[in-house]
Amino acid sequence: MSIALARKAMSFEQLAGICACLALALAAHIGSLPAWVYATVAMSGAIRLSLARRGRAAPPRFVRLAVAALAIALLFLQFRTFNGLSAGTALLTLMAGLKLLETETQRDIYIITLCIYFVSMSALLESDSFWLLAYLIGVCWLTTATLLRVTSTAPLPDRRRSLFYAARIFSQALPLALVFWLFFPRFGGPLWQMPSEGGKAESGLSDSMSPGDINELALSDDIAFRVHFAAAPPPPQERYWRGPVMHDFNGHTWNRGYPLRFTAPLLQTQGEAYTYTLSLEPHQHNWIFALDWPAKWNLPHGVLTNDYTLVQPDPVSRPIDVVATSYTKVQSTEPLSATLRRRDIRLPPNRNPRTLQLAHDLRQGHPDDMDYVQAVLNMFAQEAFYYTLTPPKLAGDSVDEFLFGTKRGFCGHYASAFTTLMRAAGIPAHVVTGYQGGTFNRFADYWIVRQSDAHAWSEVWIDGLGWQRVDPTSVIAPARVQPGLGDVAGADEPAGGPWRHGTPWLADLRLRLDAMRQLWRERILLFDQDSQTRVLEWLNIPEPDGQKLVMVLAAALALVLVWLTWTVRRETEPPRKDPVIRAYARLCIKLAAVGIPRLAHEGAEDYAIRVAQRRPDLGPAVGALCRDYSDLRYADAPAPAGVGRFEGAVRTFRPRPPDSRAS
C-alpha cells in the first residue's frame, strides 16, 4: 500500500464505523474494567466524531498529550502496574480511545484496528464461554469488513460486499486455525472464581457453614458439574454428591477443622456399583465432588481423607473430568478410633444449653442409638418446623434459637441442629455438605447439578454399621415448605422455574443449549496433550511423541500455506478471456505466421478483406471465420454449440506459406 493511501484523510462515516467496532469489542469486558476507562474512551470518540462531522481536524497536540498523561497516571494509581491481564487490557483500551482522539489518516485506523483485535482476544483469557467466542468472532468479522471499507478508494464499497469478502477471508483462515488447534502445544484454561456478596449467601459450598448468619439463600443457576453415568443412575434418594465435611463447631459456625492423619474405617460395599464421568467446573477449593461413597477414581494425585472426602493437592482451577466408581450403600464393622470419636463428639462448653437439655431428656427415653436418631427425626416431622429460603437471622446460640424459637430454616439449619443433638447424646456425628439430586438432560444423556442443588446433611456413627447418612431436611412435611421454593427445579426435572410447565419448549431449549456447551467443553476446551496423542494415533503415526507432533505441525502448515498461496494467486490473476476471443487470437497468430499480421486498428471484417486481397486462396475460409467471430462476439448470448464449432474451425485451419501455393 502506498504512503499516500496510508495518509489519506478519514471521513465521518469511516470514523463512525471504527468507533462502533471498538464499542462492540469493549462490551465483552463490561464489569471487568474501571468505569472511568469506558468514560474516557467514549468521550474521546464523541469529541473526534463531533469534529469530523464539522470537517475539523483533531484537537491540538498539547491537549492530546495532557489527556494521555492524566489517563495513564490514573491507570497506574489504580492498578499499581501495567502488567497483568486486567491492567494490560485497561492500558490497551485507553490506547485505542486516545488514538481515536488524534485519528486523521488510515494509518491511525490500522493501529485502532489492531487494538480491537487484541482487546477481543484478551476477553477470551478471562472466560472460555462458547457464546463469548461466537460474539467476538462476529466483532472481528465486522471490524475486518470496516477495515476493508476504510482501505478502499472512493466511492466506498457496498457494506454487503465488504461483509461477504471479510467472511471469505475468515473462511480461508479456518484451515490454518484448525492446524494450530490440533497440533500446537496445549495451555491451561482461564482461572475462575466464585464471587460472593456480604449479607447474602449464594447456594454453593465453602469450608465453613454459619446458617444463623444468613437471612436469604440465593438460588444460583450456575452449574457445579455434569455427570454421565455408564449405566442406569441411582434413584433420587441416593443421589448425594459428597463434598467437604464439617467437624468443628463453636456453637454458631461449623468448620472443616484441621485434617487428621488417621485412616478412616474400611467400608464394606453393598449393593450396586455406579460408574460415572463427572465434568467438574472450576472452583477455588481442592475437593472433588463424588457420589457417596467413592471407591475408585482416575485422579493421579487424588486421595480419600479420613472423612471420605475426595481431594487433590491443588485447587480445581480449570475444568476437569473425573471417572469414578461409587457405592451408595456401605457399612463398617471396624470400631471408630478414639481420636476420630473425640473429634466428632466434641461440643463447645456453655453454648446452646437448651439443646443440650433436650438431648438429655430424649436420650433418657431412647437409650438405643438408632431409636434416638428416629426420635429426633420424628420431632422435626411432627412439630411446627418449616423449610424456607428466607429464615430469620440467629444470635450466638444459633441451635437454641432455631429449635426453640424460629423453627424456620433450610438444610444447613436442620443439619446443624440434628448433628448437635447427636453429639449431645454421645453419638459421633458431623455435617456433610455437597449436592443432592440433579436435572437430567435427555438430549445428551447426562445430569446437570447446579449450585442451587447444594445441600447439607448429617452422618452418625452406629456401632456395627459405621457411618450412616441421615438427611433431617427430608422429613419436613410438604405442607410446611414455605412459598418461594416452587421456583426450584426438583430432581429429575428440567431446570427453569414456575414457567417450565407452561413453556416446556423453553426448558428444552435450555437443555439443548447446555448440551451444546458440554460438547464445546469436551471437544474443544479439554483438548489437551493426550487428545493430540490420540489424533496422531488416528493418523497411524507409530509411537507418537513431541518430535513427531512438531513434524506433523510443520507438514500441515506447509500444505495449508500452499493452498492459501494458490487461492490468493487465483484471486489476483486477471480474468480469463472469452473463448471466442481466444480462438480469434489463435486465428490471427496463424495468419501472422504466413506473413499477414492483423493491424492494431483493424476489425475482423476489414482484416478478412485484406487477407483476401493478399491471398485469394485463403479469402473464403478467413472470411467465413471472421464473420462467425463477429456474430459470436457481439451476440447477446452466443450458443455454446456455435462457440465450439468456431473453436474447432480455427483449430483445423492451417494456412499454407506463400511459396507452397504452386505445389
User: Over 60: is that where the pLDDT of 602 sits?
Assistant: yes
Q: What is the pLDDT of residues 481-502, one digit of tens each?
A: 655 444 444 444 444 444 455 5
User: Over 60: is that where the pLDDT of 12 sits?
Assistant: yes
Instruction: Report whether 430 contacts 459 (CB < 8 A).
Output: yes
Structure confidence at residue 423 as a pLDDT band (50, 70, 90): very high
Distance of CA 523 to the CA centre of its chain: 12
Instruction: Report whether 99 contacts 108 (CB < 8 A).
Output: yes
User: Over 80: is that where the pLDDT of 607 sits?
Assistant: yes
The Cα angle at residue 370 between residues 365 and 372, in degrees rounded to 5: 30
Residues 6+ apart with CB under 8 A from 393: 212, 213, 214, 215
Site of grid cell 445430569: 447
pLDDT of residue 78: 86
Residues 6+ apart with CB under 8 A from 34: 78, 90
CA dihedral sign, ordered 534, 538, 543, 545: negative
Distance, first Cα to last Cα, the chain: 62
User: Over 60: is that where the pLDDT of 218 sits?
Assistant: no
What span, in angstroms and rounded, lies between the C-alpha atoms of 308 and 324? 14
E strand or H helix that includes residue 431: strand 429-436
Q: What is the mean pLDDT of residues 321-335?
A: 89
Closest C-alpha among 55, 47, 41, 44 to residue 11: 55
Three-state SS for 448?
A: strand
E strand or H helix that includes residue 422: helix 411-424
Among 198-212, 238-252, 375-389, which is the least confidently predicted range? 198-212
What span, in angstroms and rounded, lies between the C-alpha atoms of 245 and 264? 13
Q: What is the DSSP string of 320-364?
A: EEEEEEEEEEEE--SPPPHHHHHHTT---TTS-HHHHHHHHHHHH
pLDDT of residue 156: 56
Cis preceding linkage at 658, omega within 30? no
Q: Which amino acid is at 266?
A: L
Residue with more model confidence, 333 or 350: 350
| φ, ψ at 409 (rounded to 5°) | 180, -175
What span, in angstroms and rounded, lies between the C-alpha atoms of 513 and 507? 10
Distance of CA 593 to the CA centre of its chain: 69
Give the CA diameter of the chain: 141
Q: Which long-range contacts (CB under 8 A, 24 or more apart) does 410-413 make?
A: 410/211, 410/217, 410/473, 411/455, 411/456, 411/457, 411/473, 412/209, 412/211, 412/214, 412/456, 413/211, 413/212
What span, in angstroms and rounded, lies between the C-alpha atoms of 23 and 102? 17
Q: What is the mean pLDDT of residues 208-219?
A: 60
Closest C-alpha among 562, 532, 563, 561 to residue 545: 532
Is this structure's pTM higher than 0.85? no
Q: What is the DSSP string of 472-515?
A: GGGGS-GGGB-TTGGGS--TTS-S--GGGTT-HHHHHHHHHHHH
Sketch the domain layout of the chain as residue ranges. Answer: 3-157, 201-499, 579-660
Structure confidence at residue 157 as a pLDDT band (50, 70, 90): low
pLDDT of residue 468: 92
User: Over 50: is that where the pLDDT of 197 sits?
Assistant: no
What span, in angstroms and rounded, lies between the C-alpha atoms of 402 and 409? 8
pLDDT of residue 213: 52
b/e sequence 253-286, b meaning 16+ C-beta within 10 Å: bbbbbeeeeeebbebeeeeeebebbbbbbbbebb
Helix axes 546-572, 529-538, angle to 10 degrees: 70
What span, in angstroms and rounded, lies between the C-alpha atoms of 396 and 250? 10
User: Over 90: is that where the pLDDT of 658 sits?
Assistant: no
Q: What is the pLDDT of residues 353-381, one digit of tens each?
A: 999 999 999 999 999 999 999 999 999 99
Structure confidence at residue 574 as a pLDDT band (50, 70, 90): low
Structure confidence at residue 229 as a pLDDT band (50, 70, 90): very high
Q: What percentage of the chain exceeds 70 in pLDDT?
A: 86
Residue with more model confidence, 561 or 488: 561
pLDDT of residue 476: 85
Helices marked H in 573-603:
579-593
What span, in angstroms and rounded, lies between the C-alpha atoms of 309 and 260? 13
Mean pLDDT taken over the chain: 83
pLDDT of residue 361: 93
What span, in angstroms and rounded, lies between the C-alpha atoms of 304 and 296? 10
Structure confidence at residue 204 as a pLDDT band (50, 70, 90): low
The Cα angle at residue 188 between residues 186 and 192, in degrees rounded to 5: 155
Structure confidence at residue 529 as a pLDDT band (50, 70, 90): confident
User: Over 80: is that where the pLDDT of 109 sits?
Assistant: yes
Residues 6+ apart with CB under 8 A from 599: 607
Structure confidence at residue 153 as a pLDDT band (50, 70, 90): low
CA dihedral sign, ordered 180, 182, 183, 185: positive
Strand 208-209: give its sheet, edge to edge.
208-209, 254-255, 248-249
What span, in angstroms and rounded, lies between the C-alpha atoms of 30 and 35? 9
* C-alpha separations of 540 from 42, 139, 175, 533, 548 in Å: 55, 39, 21, 11, 12
What span, in angstroms and rounded, lies between the C-alpha atoms of 600 and 588? 11
Q: What percentage of the chain exceeds 90 in pLDDT?
A: 25
Residue with more model confidence, 57 or 196: 57
